[in-house]
Structure 1
């Protein structure tokens, strides 16, 4: 089972690229971020024609998240992160798929910092930390996938020097990510790649794509029971090299089947 996350950076303008990637790589589940389209502007017809069901939480011009499932409609279990009833930004959607809870998130960027946008980022992160703890306590197998807008360590960026003031590298941002991981989540890409440098985002400036000057900000976090199923993980870098590409590349995990539970039986066969 292949589960991917992809910050599409405008689903209408990059629909052709999305459909080509779906056709070539055929992921089973896709978490999309930064749709930049209202609910009515989501291209559900084209996505259905490609063989995928979808749920989405749009917003005009900004943000927006969606979950696609191959051959089925995802069963929505949550829309919006709990903890702030006044938060109107479309940044979280969640579905029950194949016995798992899959949360798709687009964490606030937080720039410029310091300032209100950075405070919103940290407040949203705190809500995520609180909610993710409840997800783990639920006992369900869970994946949190998306654009976390955090570079966890200096090993996750080509060179931190020119990004020192960026919200993605601030100690507060990294500390939140560490607290999240310490709940028991497995950072899938880091588990597979070890200390090897691997990037998921290359911005449009200063030839960063051409020189492989990237950042790792798209993450798939696995609950302990899902982590035991992890076979491999990777980044579909070829998508970033396409004309008019998003500045992110799809990032994915491949899972083996769930571990079977063996129960001792009394008195012979059932």
Structure 2
């Protein structure tokens, strides 16, 4: 079962790239973040024509998540925080695997109101997953985490130390997720640094290979044990008008 995540930074702009990637890579599940579309605007027909069922939760101009799958999706869940207008979580069960798609808040700057919101959101996510893992032995949590788990996930850990995405409080929140038993499956197959999933549009950061790994796939123990591969596909980042994120995919024997 091939499961992928991609922050597309506007599905309206990137739809042709997404359709081409689906055709080339044939994932069983693709989770999208930052679709930036209302539900009424979502290109359901184009996705279904490509052979995928789709569920989505969006809002105008910001955020928005979607799950594309070849198989039926059941037990749908939307939203993490009550009365939160930001569309950042979407979950479904697909072929016996609980798929939780997240777009973690960026946080803007350490100490800001948005940073406090991010930490509160991560606490709520931890509590949500603690319950979900009791119900689903096979669970995968994936998406744009807006957290670089370790210094080897950052091109300049010293220069960026303490800033948003790398702060100790954010990394501690990430460790609370892994303490639940979730495993960062990319690190099962790649121990080296210098492998990233996001590159700033400015200063030719992609061309200079100066990025951060913030797009992650975490799996429950039963699922992690069957992970045969996990890769970042940098090819879409080379395209004209790309997202600033690259797709990340993992393959599981389920």
TM-score for the superposition, normalised by structure 2: 0.97
Deviations along 1:40-90, whole A, 9 cap, x unmatched? Answer: 1111111111111100000110000000002x4422421111xx3121110
What RMSD, in angstroms, separates the aligned Cα atoms of the two structures?
Answer: 1.2
Q: Name the counterpart of 2:33.
A: 33
Please, which runs of 5 or more residues in structure 2 have no aligned partner?
none
Aligned-partner SS, 1:215? coil
Instruction: Name which one, 1 or 2, has greater alpha-carbon Rg.
Output: 1
Alignment of 1:68 onto 2:65: no
Alignment of 1:79 onto 2:78: yes
User: Hey, which bits of structure 1, 4+ residues long, moved more than 3 A?
Assistant: none
Q: Name the counterpart of 1:20.
A: 20
Count of aligned positions? 254
* Conserved? CA contact 1:111–1:166, under 8 Å: no
TM-score for the superposition, normalised by structure 1: 0.91
* Conserved? CA contact 1:52–1:73, under 8 Å: no
Distance 2:50 2:104 in 1: 28
Please, which runs of 5 or more residues in structure 1 have no aligned partner?
259-270
Q: In the TM superposition, what are the counterparts of 1:36-115 in structure 2 within 5 Å? A: 36-70=36-70, 72-81=71-80, 84-115=81-112
Q: Name the counterpart of 1:267.
A: none
* Conserved? CA contact 1:55–1:73, under 8 Å: no
Deviations along 1:208-233, whole A, 9 cap, x unmatched? Answer: 10011111001110001101110001
Distance 1:32 1:76 in 2: 18
2:161 is matched with which residue: 159, 164, 168? Answer: 164
Alignment of 1:121 onto 2:118: yes
